[in-house]
Structure 1
């Protein structure tokens, strides 16, 4: 049987958008052909045979209609996550990854040097992730390169744990290179093409890589033994599982009654059974079959030190390509897993990067607004310390994803909007993106953001550290530069003094500000702002002080401090935040 067809016919009244999706990922990949007002959904059966009287049940089908296509995406992801028992971690992990500076050429000394650098800078990163390059060949995971990792991977994991971090390991578990010992010993373990030849999954730095047959009992037992060693004996606590699509490629398998999606899922089930509750990060994967088995998922191609790819391919490594997926797949976050937007690269152009300042800030902005994993891909021994402020400003992750309001209007969405709701207030942080190559004037209608027309809102430009004043119907960026994300705060304005914003995090108070307590006495007002954030970082708190109010006194951690006049009606206090700080300000008329 090659496919199962499901037909749905009828009128969809008062709805411009229709979403039709398979709401499980257990069975073969499904596609949908749409011809409104009728729909035909196809569930591929991958040639599974049925004996007389046998049945093969298709995936459940969800058909929904709504005026708001973003609501449909949310509904689809919510249904899929619930049916597949999605694993959503309580908070996304943070860490450092070796790939995006060394590209496989790092040694154990480089890993340890970066761990020392992270500790020296007091960066709140949790995982030290050793990416590709430690193995002698794809598939030969237990024989690390003796020249680069002479002490072995178990020893290195011990050093990482002793430093107070979680050791993480990259692996492509469903593949074996043509030159590997694994393939030499077990050529019958790989998927075959229609001519009976080993299927080529990809080329890894010029070497042919084959896909393992996950329906083969011997391959399944090998997976169990492999991850027992990596997890229990070596002690790694996070696994980045890459090139997972290899396990789902079409071809001849040991068990022809198992579909491609079922084979992939069986491989992941075995890994999950062995590692228990340790964090599994999927990468290069068909998304549906992984739900309920991985804790995090890379949702796009590799980021890179170049803005655009060297050839016109949306799957090629490039910052713009990666960010396109960060925005368009934001709705999957916290519904199917924790989204992994890939690494942030904040280093300068003289340190192995071609990203200009605006491109780097856009990368940081969209990763920060996405709410998912935050992994650094820089080299801490060589990075300019001043650049680390950009990394600090997205740590820790906020946890909630922004919304691409114009996802169904623009090929590259330009409005990435994060509603921030705290006990002490609510505001919007809006990433206004210029994907183009020319400077332009950009105007955003506040009603488009869901704000009430005619009402006053404070506007603050985060990266330029510029108060834009009180706006009512729209906010304008007169010179919106190429590849720049203007990160704007919009907060309801009042005739009373207000806590306006914090520059310690891109959410501008959503993470680091723990409380804002106001009291009224003798006609004046007093505010106490409590901040908590791991590490050490310089930043500023801003307060709106409309006429006829003025600042009477200010304190930092109980000691008198002066304030800076930022703009008419706005004052600020800059300071180094080390773990915790209390800012107090008294206002009078």
Structure 2
């Protein structure tokens, strides 16, 4: 029966079933969850509809899953409306399967075939199955009250359409216990910078920081690089150098020969060149005299201070210990002027330290988790809400709700093993991206092969992952700088698919082969080539590896910008990819539509595409980035040379009419970029004017507009004429 009670909206969304409300007179079936009608089905009156009435069971072998179903005695079309909170997104409720692209998104697109809606504020997932359906618009609508609306037309029949409603999806269904978006939302901004670790390892100094800051200011700042991060090597060892002191004193006692001005000089050198200062720290205690001077702050076993692999001595993580050594340290980083802090070795604190205590029987599983969580919360309390916080390394559910970003891979380097790891782990963990935290695939070493650098930077830019470079300035050759500039800034996109990780994909098989990332020596890792045999051995064996597009090698980013919606398909050769005909539906596109295709790195128009896209073969490490726009009967911007997104970065305003195209662009003064416009048959350019730039135009298969920016923005107006086609 209908439930007549009014349910107020709770701050913490209930783990409870939605309740139905049926109005036979209007043919309206509504399901209310947490005081809001999240699902409304408008069914033509006069039809005999069957639907699920109550909440007498889970209806699935998964806890907290409600299954709603609707069927009809005769075929009938109905309108289904989802009403969710601001920030809701359309996604596919499972990870990419055989030959499917991994789905990403920028904005609020409605993606063909993506049969899920996710409320990011309530951690609520709804997905539907068992019927034919299609979206009624290209993007999610926003009401005056800030609610998100998505509508689709559904074909009902005697075979039931069923809808799964899963409250607290990431928290309960995927096990991320600390994911509570009603309390904490990670910072959603794009992050790009330079890190000192794989450039210099511990051989870092204030002179080198000043040098790199000046170089980046000249070469990359205008393109979106914002942070300079000093890594390991600034602190005086062992930690703390004074065993009677606190860890704050330890980390803020710098090596005098390398940093005579201490942290203040680091922060000032970075700020002087217009960058935000960032710093690395970790959870280590290395001074062997520290435990005897702080016996209440270090864990002991059999009368001796316990040491964990990679972590040395272990904090007790008691309130008193955290109040003395941890919270003040992170507060000091903030007060000194660092706006980005990276905490390292925390996985070793947990896995090799506190878990060792569990194995020894000196604490319980629950106690180990609670102590680690207390450590993380103390670090965030010291930093406050404004400092950007990266947890490194290894995805751990205990950092959710504390960190803004989480490193999802081991230490990267310029070998194929290191590069492939970044590409593959970006794919494996993509369902967490900008939901639980921003994914960090670790720093990129462009001193690798040009093709490999192009692939990893393209992927990081399009996914919007954390974008960090780590080389000395001599690695930034003109051709490498060109690739970096065309991938800066990273987008602010997020995942458009979710679901648990498959355990049929191997993790880290590459670590036993060439290029093992964690090396004991102090010098940066150098690039080395890879044989095809080694590359395939690194990949391991898994269900899709013999497909045209094995898992991790095919992506589809559905983007929204001032010029509308488009898709960027990315083919990344984590294994050699054959030439193939790629079905458009595998990219989340409609097979019965006509698209215009453009290859970014080749700067080449691929022509009109229907049903499938013909793709070239790619060798190990190569990539192909293709923009796909639905063809229109008006002049249409379809690509640019400025950014790998083609172009979600430089197009700020866009107005297309039958015979006029007006575009407002941003750019770097004294640089030239090309913009590619498709014209309907019989149309030619009549005139072109620009304010803020010099332009030249050339017409072939596409109209190519070369824009020489005189200042940071320019308005381009193109007028066309169309000749009669006899």
TM-score by length of 1: 0.77
Return the match for 1:186 from 279, 294, 299: 294
Partner of 2:715: 582
**SS state of the match for residue 579, structure 2?**
strand
Partner of 2:486: 393
Within 5 Å, which residues of 2 pair with 1:179-258? Answer: 179=287, 182-183=290-291, 185-186=293-294, 189-192=297-300, 197-203=304-310, 209-215=312-318, 217-232=320-335, 234-248=336-350, 249-252=354-357, 256=363
Q: Work out the CA distance in 2 between the residues paired with 1:506 and 1:72.
A: 37
TM-superposed CA distance for 1:176, in Å, is 1.2
Return the match for 2:225 from 93, 104, 125: 125
Return the match for 1:152 from 239, 250, 262: 262
Within 5 Å, which residues of 2 pair with 1:44-63? Answer: none
TM-superposed CA distance for 1:274, in Å, is 1.9
Partner of 1:430: 569
Contact 1:307-1:319 within 8 A present in 2 as well: yes
TM-superposed CA distance for 1:492, in Å, is 0.4
Structure 1 residues 189 and 447, CA, compared in 2 at 3 Å: closer, same or farther?
Answer: same
Partner of 1:38: none
Deviations 1:156-204 (A, max 9, x none): 21332333322111000x2212x466456436633456x665444334x
TM-superposed CA distance for 1:481, in Å, is 2.5
Contact 2:599-2:625 within 8 A present in 1 as well: yes
Contact 2:689-2:717 within 8 A present in 1 as well: yes
TM-superposed CA distance for 1:209, in Å, is 2.6
Partner of 1:55: none
**SS state of the match for residue 582, structure 1?**
strand
How many residues are matched? Answer: 505
Contact 2:559-2:568 within 8 A present in 1 as well: yes
Whether 2:181 is the aligned partner of 1:88: answer no
Whether 2:581 is the aligned partner of 1:443: answer yes
Return the match for 2:591 from 453, 475, 488: 453
Between 438-447 and 276-285, the greater mean CA deviation after superposition = 438-447
Partner of 2:557: 418
Between 491-500 and 406-415, the greater mean CA deviation after superposition = 406-415
Partner of 1:314: none
**SS state of the match for residue 274, structure 1?**
helix
Contact 1:78-1:335 within 8 A present in 2 as well: no
TM-superposed CA distance for 1:537, in Å, is 4.8
Whether 2:430 is the aligned partner of 1:330: answer yes
TM-superposed CA distance for 1:66, in Å, is 7.2
Q: Work out the CA distance in 1 between the residues paired with 2:220 and 2:356.
A: 50
Return the match for 1:478 from 616, 632, 635: 616
Partner of 1:349: none
Return the match for 2:632 from 491, 494, 506: 494
TM-superposed CA distance for 1:403, in Å, is 4.8
Partner of 2:459: 366
Structure 1 residues 154 and 126, CA, compared in 2 at 3 Å: closer, same or farther?
Answer: same
Contact 1:517-1:529 within 8 A present in 2 as well: yes
Max radius of gyration: which structure?
2
Q: Which runs of no fewer than 5 residues in structure 1 stay unpaired? A: 1-8, 19-60, 309-317, 347-352
Contact 2:205-2:259 within 8 A present in 1 as well: yes
Deviations 1:70-107 (A, max 9, x none): x9999733775336733321413322211121122121
Q: Work out the CA distance in 1 between the residues paired with 2:212 and 2:410.
A: 25
Deviations 1:455-511 (A, max 9, x none): 210111111111111110111222322222211111101233211112211211212
Between 78-87 and 269-278, the greater mean CA deviation after superposition = 78-87
Structure 1 residues 218 and 269, CA, compared in 2 at 3 Å: closer, same or farther?
Answer: same
Partner of 1:341: 441
TM-superposed CA distance for 1:439, in Å, is 5.9
Structure 1 residues 65 and 556, CA, compared in 2 at 3 Å: closer, same or farther?
Answer: closer
TM-superposed CA distance for 1:132, in Å, is 1.0
Contact 1:543-1:571 within 8 A present in 2 as well: yes
TM-superposed CA distance for 1:583, in Å, is 2.2
**SS state of the match for residue 508, structure 1?**
coil
Contact 2:124-2:168 within 8 A present in 1 as well: no
Q: Work out the CA distance in 1 between the residues paired with 2:626 and 2:453.
A: 17
TM-superposed CA distance for 1:535, in Å, is 7.0
Q: Work out the CA distance in 2 between the residues paired with 1:541 and 1:74.
A: 45
**SS state of the match for residue 494, structure 2?**
coil
Q: Work out the CA distance in 2 between the residues paired with 1:127 and 1:216.
A: 33
Structure 1 residues 578 and 302, CA, compared in 2 at 3 Å: closer, same or farther?
Answer: farther
Deviations 1:126-179 (A, max 9, x none): 22110111122363312222222222122221332333322111000x2212x4
TM-superposed CA distance for 1:276, in Å, is 1.2
Partner of 1:554: 688
Structure 1 residues 359 and 451, CA, compared in 2 at 3 Å: closer, same or farther?
Answer: same
Q: Work out the CA distance in 2 between the residues paired with 1:422 and 1:145.
A: 48
Q: Work out the CA distance in 2 between the residues paired with 1:101 and 1:556.
A: 42
**SS state of the match for residue 279, structure 2?**
strand
Partner of 1:293: 402
Contact 2:196-2:470 within 8 A present in 1 as well: yes
**SS state of the match for residue 625, structure 2?**
strand
Deviations 1:312-350 (A, max 9, x none): xxxxxx11112212122122122112222322333xxxx
Contact 1:107-1:148 within 8 A present in 2 as well: yes
TM-superposed CA distance for 1:256, in Å, is 4.4
Q: Work out the CA distance in 2 between the residues paired with 1:397 and 1:63.
A: 27
Whether 2:411 is the aligned partner of 1:272: answer no
Q: Work out the CA distance in 1 between the residues paired with 2:570 and 2:592.
A: 22
